[in-house]
Structure 1
Amino acid sequence: MPVRVQQQDFDLSDEVAALRAGQAGIGAIVSFVGTVRDMNDGSSVAAMELEHYPGMTEKALEDIVAKAKARWPVLDALVIHRVGPLAPLDQIVLVAVTSPHRGEAFDACEYIIDYLKTEAPFWKKEQTPEGARWVDARVTDDAALAKWKEGD
């Protein structure tokens, strides 16, 4: 399953081992793991709640992976995104890509996470000393996505 949305944590080593198992053509594996920070926008963060739209979220992630596979010689890709309550240091997301060469693997991994950050239907609520707040999209995420739009 190239896309999973789940509450439980994941083990990076186990996930990468499963992704590369039996694929002798792999020359590169690139992975990205996003974690919960204890600070955001000048406030400490005690906890984060991630919500999603079941069904729609998985479909959006599958579409992003399919676009990356169409653009680069990706042998395989995996996206795991957690939902529910999370604490600082918890893992949120894993994107892992296998390819014959490192350049394509890096590009495809970055492409997937840039699209995921801006176009996948997730909502984040942080618990701060000032109270709960929804996390807005970042201008930097939109700028990162813009570089890929030219080639789409």
Structure 2
Amino acid sequence: MPRQRISLVTLGVDDLTRARAFYAALGWTEAEVADGMACFQLLGQALMLFGRADLAKDQGRAGADLGTGALTLAQNFVTREDVDTAFAEALAAGATSLKPPEAVFWGGYSGYYADPDGHVWEVAHNPFWPLAEDGSLTLPQPE
């Protein structure tokens, strides 16, 4: 089995009900898991929401201030218009705009928002990284 993969991303949240409602408002479908957690099936992986204090305890760091760290989660889209739509939907669901989508130095188009718990998401169109029909990304290989 390949080791170069991510199966699950877990975000520590302050209010599980609010976080669950935010991702549901983006149209994400929640899977059933244990009480005190919310899990959303993604393409080939899952996103888990877990109370910050409970996550710190589970990590063996009870009482630690986990914060949100220097991390950006990203979603790539086929067109710039798709990026604009995703950004607007996130704001309507309760996200905070960090940088509206715009043309960027690397030749693409992207913007950033923070979810209600401060986790940073980038929405982007990268013309150099075409997406598969199902939305999955495979990086171009050197020739």
Please classify the TM superposition score into its range, dividing by the shorter chain length. Answer: under 0.3
TM-score by length of 2: 0.27
Higher relative contact order (CA 8 A, sep 6+): 1
Higher helix share: 1
TM-score by length of 1: 0.26
